[in-house]
Amino acid sequence: MFKWDTLIINANLATMADGSRTYGMLTDGAVGILNGRIEWLGTTTGIKNSIETLAKEVVDAQGCLVTPGLIDCHTHLVFAGNRADEFEQRLNGVAYEEIARKGGGILSTVRATREASFEELYQQSLPRFLALVSEGVTTVEIKSGYGLDLATELKMLHVAKKLGEEHNIQIKLTLLAAHAVPPEYKDNADGYVDVVCSEIIPKIAELKMADCVDAFCEGIGFSYDQTKRVFDAAVRWGLPVKLHADQLSDLNGAALVAEYAGLSADHVEYTSIKSANAMQESGTVAVLLPYAFYILKETKLPPIDAFRKRQIPMAISTDCNPGTAPSSSLLTTMNKACVEFSLTPEEVLKGVTINAAMALGIEDDVGSIEFGKKANLVLWNIKHPADLCYWQGMNRVQRIFIG
Ligand SMILES: [Zn+2]
């Protein structure tokens, strides 16, 4: 009779749990896993019994790094079509406005996503999803937002759900119907917000096809007041909120999401100190998206020192999307967070583990290596966590444990 199903020994355990040690590091660490949960944590030398008798399977990490499974807390990875041609046109000097006028930009993705069958959408999204998973991502948040009508938003969310079910990966579904104004509501954004609030949110909530509601609050998206209406509808239907906030200008988006005790304010490049104070009070996470910052060649940095001073948790995510973040590599994004935003490798690893879990409201269950949490772990072919941010173009995942 074994005590555990799996016992990992001789690991450099970055638990991300104990704030008194960098990375919560436990060298010579050992983890006992039973029924998919972390049942025991300690040191290998502290184990008195003969190790083979303790677990069905003993995994010798040989001094390599073990981290919590990574969490990508902000993605738009379900979409159809491809915008590489627009990328090329822009580099050949065609202005974005002209591309948009000819039906390019986000609306070209909306068109392709509406036209795609469920199976086509699934097959096109699958490689992006698998690329993330291959880098040790065990929880993925996936947003809708390229349908902009009930049927297509629902189709996107069903595809996202199926990706998780087929690959035993935890998915958090976010309804982002207020991503852009659909062509049939051109010049009538308020009319579309009516549909979002009175038709789309209620139906999706009723079907339990979203864990959260998001919106794009920006000059080229939805106004502060329109976003507020979307949030009111979300609250009526019992759904928490998060927001694409203050990415290109300061519309007090982060303060608005804080007012609704929202899970996260995402992008936050232009977030003011006043809004940061509100985030601190409401416990709202700042989700930083350095890959979009890099692609857009932005120069305005998020107020990272203000977040640090106020101990506002910072999460890092790919923002995987066809326009401003054509990437499904969280490891690359982690490097960008260090280089573009000058975050430390420890802040970055927190940003893709425990703080990303907080941004999704699941920090009691995943995001760190602690007693009772789900045993989502990654064994890497490296010794030190800084290597995850440092070297690019190599995937050092050795083994992924999911529950
Ligand atoms: Zn986004």
Residue 45 has pLDDT above 80, yes or no: yes
The predicted structure's pLDDT at residue 230: 98
Q: Rounded to the nearest whole angstrom, what is the distance from the C-alpha of residue 321 to the centroid of ligand 1?
A: 7
Model pLDDT for residues 133-156, shown as the tens digit of each residue: 999 999 999 999 999 999 999 999
User: What pLDDT was estimated at residue 352?
Assistant: 98
Check residue 97 and give its pLDDT. 78
What separation in Å is there between the alpha carbon of 75 and the centre of ligand 1? Answer: 6
CATH 3.40.50.720 fits 4-68+367-401, yes or no: no
* Superfamily of chain region 70-359: Metal-dependent hydrolases (3.20.20.140)
Q: pLDDT at residue 18 above 80?
A: no
Q: How far is the CA of 390 from the centre of ligand 1 (A)?
A: 25
- The answer to whether 374 touches 391, Cβ cutoff 8 Å, is no
Task: Tell me how far the alpha carbon of residue 243 lies from the centroid of ligand 1, in angstroms.
Answer: 9
| pLDDT tens for each residue of 254-313 | 999 999 999 999 999 999 999 999 999 999 999 999 999 999 999 999 999 999 999 999
Ligand 1: centre distance to CA 373 (Å) = 28
What is the distance in A from the centroid of ligand 1 to the CA of 305? 23
Q: How far is CA 326 from CA 99, 128, 160, 248, 330, in A?
A: 17, 10, 18, 19, 12
Residue 96 has pLDDT above 90, yes or no: no
Q: What is the pLDDT of residue 220?
A: 87
pLDDT at 49: 80
What distance in angstroms lies between residue 326's CA and the mean position of ligand 1's atoms? 11
Distance (Å) from CA 143 to ligand 1 centroid = 8
| C-alpha radius of gyration, the chain, whole number | 21
Q: Assign 100 a pLDDT band (cuts: 50, 70, 90).
A: confident
pTM: 0.97
Instruction: Tell me if 4-68+367-401 shares its fold with 70-359.
Output: no
Break the chain into its structural domains and give their ranges. Answer: 4-68+367-401, 70-359
pLDDT in tens, 155-191: 999 999 999 999 999 999 999 999 999 999 999 999 9
| Residue 23 pLDDT grade (very low, low, confident, very high; cuts 50, 70, 90) | very high
Percent of the chain exceeding pLDDT 70 equals 100
Average the pLDDT over 333-351 and give the result. Answer: 98
With helix as H, strand as E and coil as C, how does the chain read?
CCCEEEEEEEEEEECCCCCCCHHHEEEEEEEEEECCEEEEEEECCCCCCCHHHCEEEEEECCCCEEEECEEECCCCCCCCCCCHHHHHHHHCCCCHHHHHHCCCCHHHHHHHHHHCCHHHHHHHHHHHHHHHHHCCEEEEEEECCCCCCHHHHHHHHHHHHHHHHHHCCEEEEEEEEECCCCHHHCCCHHHHHHHHHHHHHHHHHHCCCCCEEEEEECCCCECHHHHHHHHHHHHHCCCCEEEEECCCCCCCHHHHHHHCCCCEEEECCCCCHHHHHHHHHHCCEEEECHHHHHHCCCCCCCCHHHHHHCCCCEEECCCCECCCECCCCHHHHHHHHHHHHCCCHHHHHHHCCHHHHHHCCCCCCCCCCCCCCECCEEEECCCCCHHHHHCCCCCCEEEEECC
Q: How close is the Cα of 371 to the center of ligand 1, in Å? A: 33
Whole-number pLDDT of residue 104: 84
Model confidence at 224, in pLDDT bands (50, 70, 90)?
Answer: very high
Distance (Å) from CA 76 to ligand 1 centroid = 7
Look at residue 19 and tell me whether its pLDDT is greater than 80: no
